[in-house]
C-alpha cells in the first residue's frame, strides 16, 4: 500500500498514512466511530523530504498494515516544531476539511501583489494561533513575521486573511452585519489603533484561534511564509465552489465549519 505524508496544522503534527488525502481528511475530522468531529487542515508532504529532526527515515518500518490487512490510518512522526522543519519546497497540496469530513484540495499558485491601503484581519494557523489586525498586506505581513532580524519572529508561518468587509476602510462606522466574529466592538478598537498609529503594524485581537474561525470568512486563500519567500493557496471563488465543490461548500454554509 502507498504511504502518504501529511503535515497537519490542527494539531501541528507530521503523520504517515496509507489513506489517500480525501479518506485521510474524513478520518482525521470525524474519527473512525464518528464520536468526535472537528475541522482539519493539512498539507501533503513530499516523500523526498529529509530531516535530522523528524523521524522520516524509517517510515516503511513504522507505517505498516494491520495484522488483518487493513491500511494503517495514521502513524505519528512528529508532534512538536514540525512546520519549521518542513521546507516549503516539500509542501504539496493543501486540504481544508469540514467538521463532517468533506475535503477541499487547494493547489499552490503565484501569490498576488499587495494592493490598496485598507486594513487586514489575519488568523495565524501554525505554529501559533493568534488573530491579529494589521495595516500590512499578506505579502508584507508574512515577511515581517518571519524576518529573523526582528525581536520577535518565526521560522515559518501558515496564516490566512479573513473578511472585514466595510471595516477594512471604515472600522468605526462600517457595517459588520455579516461578520460572524465575537466582540465586534473590540475588533473595531484594534483596527482603529493600527490605523491611527503608524508605528503599530500589527495588533493582537484574540490570543488564540477562536471558534468563530469559519471557512466562509476566508479572503483570498492561505499562505506559508518564511525568510525565503511565500507560497499561496487560493480558495476558489463562490461560483466555482458551488459548481465544482458543492458537497464541501454545502457543508461549510450549513454548519459551523
In whole angstroms, what is the distance from residue 246 CA to residue 250 CA? 6
Residues 156, 145 contacting (CB under 8 angstroms): no
Q: What is the pLDDT along the chain (257 residues), one digit of tens a residue?
A: 899 999 999 999 999 999 999 999 999 998 765 445 688 999 999 999 999 999 999 999 999 999 998 999 999 999 999 999 999 999 999 999 999 999 999 999 999 999 888 999 999 999 999 999 999 999 999 999 999 999 989 999 999 999 999 999 999 999 999 999 999 999 999 999 999 998 999 999 999 999 889 999 999 999 999 999 999 999 999 999 999 999 999 999 987 67
Break the chain down into helix, strand, coil percent, rounded to 5. Answer: 25, 30, 45
CB-side neighbour CA atoms (13 Å) of 226: 13
Where do the domains of the chain lie? 4-106, 120-236
Looking at residue 244, the DSSP 8-state letter turns out to be H
Per-residue confidence (pLDDT) for residue 255, from 0 to 100? 77
CB atoms within 10 A of CB 26: 19
Q: What angle do CA 37, 43, 46 make, to 5 degrees?
A: 140
Residues 8, 94 contacting (CB under 8 angstroms): no
Per-residue confidence (pLDDT) for residue 34, from 0 to 100? 46
All cell numbers assigned to 199: 508605528
Nearest CA to 236 among 245, 224, 228? Answer: 245
Per-residue confidence (pLDDT) for residue 1, from 0 to 100? 87
Per-residue confidence (pLDDT) for residue 31, from 0 to 100? 77
CB atoms within 10 A of CB 59: 17
User: What backbone phi and psi angles, to 5 degrees, belong to 237?
Assistant: -70, 170
Amino acid at each position: 500500500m502507498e504511504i502518504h505524508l501529511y503535515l497537519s496544522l490542527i494539531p501541528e503534527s507530521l503523520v504517515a498514512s496509507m489513506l489517500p488525502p480525501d479518506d485521510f481528511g474524513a478520518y482525521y475530522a470525524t474519527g473512525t466511530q464518528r464520536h468526535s468531529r472537528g475541522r482539519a487542515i493539512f498539507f501533503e508532504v513530499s516523500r523526498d523530504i529529509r530531516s535530522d529532526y523528524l523521524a522520516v527515515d524509517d517510515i516503511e518500518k513504522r507505517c505498516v498494515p494491520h495484522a488483518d490487512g487493513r491500511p494503517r490510518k495514521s502513524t505519528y512522526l512528529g508532534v512538536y516544531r514540525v512546520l519549521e522543519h518542513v521546507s516549503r519546497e516539500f509542501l504539496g497540496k493543501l486540504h481544508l476539511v469540514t467538521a463532517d469530513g468533506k475535503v477541499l484540495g487547494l493547489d499552490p499558485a503565484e501569490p498576488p501583489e499587495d494592493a490598496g491601503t485598507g486594513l487586514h484581519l489575519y488568523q495565524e494557523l501554525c505554529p501559533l494561533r493568534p488573530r491579529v489586525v494589521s495595516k500590512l498586506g499578506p505579502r508584507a505581513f508574512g515577511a515581517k513575521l518571519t524576518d529573523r532580524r526582528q525581536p520577535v519572529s518565526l521560522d515559518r508561518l501558515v496564516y490566512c486573511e479573513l473578511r472585514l468587509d466595510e471595516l477594512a476602510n471604515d472600522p468605526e462606522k462600517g457595517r459588520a452585519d455579516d461578520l460572524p466574529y465575537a466582540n465586534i466592538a473590540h475588533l473595531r478598537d484594534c483596527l482603529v489603533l493600527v490605523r491611527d498609529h503608524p508605528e503599530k503594524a500589527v495588533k493582537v485581537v484574540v490570543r488564540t484561534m477562536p471558534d468563530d474561525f469559519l471557512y466562509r470568512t476566508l479572503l483570498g486563500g492561505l499562505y506559508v511564509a518564511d525568510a525565503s519567500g511565500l507560497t499561496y493557496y487560493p480558495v476558489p471563488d463562490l461560483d466555482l465552489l458551488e459548481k465544482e465543490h458543492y458537497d464541501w461548500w454545502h457543508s461549510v454554509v450549513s454548519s459551523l465549519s
